[in-house]
Amino acid sequence: MPKLSPNLDLLRGESAYEVLARANELEAQGRSIVHLEIGQPDFATPEHIVEAGVRALRDGKTKYNPTLGIPEFRKAITEHIGETHGIEVSPHMVAVTPSGKTGLFLIVSAVAGAGDEVIYPNPGFPTYEDVIKLSGAVPRPVRLSETNQFSFDLDALRGLISGRTKLILINSPSNPTGGVMSEEDLRAIYEVIQDKDIWILSDEIYSRLVYDGLVRAPSIYSIPGVADRTFILDGFSKTYSMTGWRLGFFVFPKEFETRIDKLLVNAVGCTATFTQYAGLAALTGPQNDVIKMRDEFQKRRDFVVDALNAIPGIHCAKPRGAFYVFPNITETGKRSDELSRVLLEDAGVALLSGTAFGAYGEGYIRISYATSMENLKVGLERIKKAISVL
Ligand SMILES: Cc1ncc(COP(=O)(O)O)c(C=O)c1O
């Protein structure tokens, strides 16, 4: 039998999907499971966005469109970036993609290859490591530690940089920690790489899901001098509750438009046309649904953090972004994967081991609060009970 590329054997996948599959199996056996593993908002896509998508289909917007996106959508994205980052970008610097993940894959393959090294956060979004491996580059994890509010440890970062470092991935607010990097942290990271030929990929997919009065998370892109070497990665899944629409975009330095166009024309041709009209309505229409969702997430975060801190053996920092908390479970005496397995199999709570996000996630579990307050109450009660009898 012919063999598949050995590159595929390097991939780890995403454990959220595996946990979900096991939880579904248990549910099929009649078990009650509270789902705290899923990284998607539990809200419906706002009605005016759905309407715009449906209208586009009815209006016959069912054909191919320009590879980098429909012009009015690219323009709306540049206006959005201008408003949120305080930097003027042109539509020639925007690529619309069928999901943030596709953008991530394309940017890493555009920048890195065999012989290069790519630095990325650990614990971090599992796709980073897999995408780096697929590009042929060597993944270099930088540890995010709780003592440092899950921001980059600058000494660790300096120690990882070599003549082969090609790209550094930043994700704020972070999956899985929910941590938001301060402008000061971001400046410090830039200072470390300023005089080196290193690209930056700033994954800002959760940038508008921030709490405690923040309007959006600070971006490294806004620091003078950074834009020329930085890609912003963003998408509509989280901010507008559009995970199933598969719509994202990225911003790149202007001189690469032709080459990025060629990359996308080969990889995807173009992004679905009707979803772009929906995205246009999302960006240019009323934002009150985003604000409502954010306020609800903040209430849930406060509830979850307080409930976790009331459980002996668990300590949970209060993160300022995304919809995840990353409690420290070391005092329970269990390893992260053991505890998450016990909580799923015995207590009926699906959540993720910190190690699903890399080896430095040992000692933590990830809980998504993108589910109803009722579910959170039941889930936290079950966790408390299960931990009390360990
Ligand atoms: C940090 C991070 N980046 C990117 C993505 C990709 O999102 P999507 O492909 O739905 O746009 C996710 C999704 O979970 C994420 O957590």
pLDDT band at 7 (very low <50, low <70, confident <90, very high): confident
Give the nearest ligand 1 atom to 236 CA: 11
Ligand 1 pocket test, candidate residues 38, 101, 170, most atoms within 8 A of CB: 101
CA distances to 34, 101, 134, 324 from 368, in Å: 11, 19, 28, 4
Question: How many angstroms separate the CA atoms of 110 and 104, rounded?
Answer: 10
Q: Facing residues of 365 across strands? A: 353
In a domain, 86, yes or no: yes
> Residues 273, 128: one domain?
yes
In a domain, 1, yes or no: no
> Residues 186, 69: one domain?
yes
What range defines the domain where residue 249 resides? 47-284
Which one of 218, 249, 284 terminates a domain?
284
pLDDT band at 180 (very low <50, low <70, confident <90, very high): very high
Q: What is the mean pLDDT of the chain?
A: 96
- State the distance from the centre of ligand 1 to the C-alpha of 204, rounded, in angstroms: 9
**Residue 368 in contact with ligand 1 by CB distance below 6 A:** no
> Residues 206, 292: one domain?
no
**Residue 125 in contact with ligand 1 by CB distance below 6 A:** yes
**Residue 98 in contact with ligand 1 by CB distance below 6 A:** no
In a domain, 122, yes or no: yes
> Residues 99, 135: one domain?
yes
CA distances to 31, 157, 353, 361, 371 from 23, in Å: 9, 37, 14, 22, 15
pLDDT at residue number 14: 77
pLDDT digits (tens, 9 = 90+) for 193-205: 999 999 999 999 9
- State the distance from the centre of ligand 1 to the C-alpha of 378, rounded, in angstroms: 27
> Residues 247, 360: one domain?
no
Which one of 284, 300, 318 terminates a domain?
284
Which one of 229, 259, 284 terminates a domain?
284
Q: Facing residues of 328 across strands? A: 315, 364
The count of C-alpha atoms lying within 13 angstroms of the C-alpha of 370, restricted to the half-sphere facing its C-beta, is 25
Mean pLDDT of 109-115: 96
Ligand 1 pocket test, candidate residues 40, 122, 175, most atoms within 8 A of CB: 175
Question: How many angstroms separate the CA atoms of 355 and 141, rounded?
Answer: 13
Mean pLDDT of 130-146: 95
What are the start-end ranges of the H helices in the chain? Answer: 15-28, 47-58, 71-85, 100-111, 126-135, 154-160, 183-193, 257-267, 273-284, 288-309, 336-345, 373-388
Q: How many structural domains is the chain composed of?
A: 2
Give the nearest ligand 1 atom to 247 CA: 11
Question: How many angstroms separate the CA atoms of 105 and 109, rounded?
Answer: 6
> Residues 77, 34: one domain?
no
pLDDT at residue number 350: 97
pLDDT at residue number 160: 96
Instruction: Read off the CATH number of the domain in which 22 is found.
Output: 3.90.1150.10
pLDDT digits (tens, 9 = 90+) for 54-92: 999 999 999 999 999 999 999 999 999 999 999 999 999
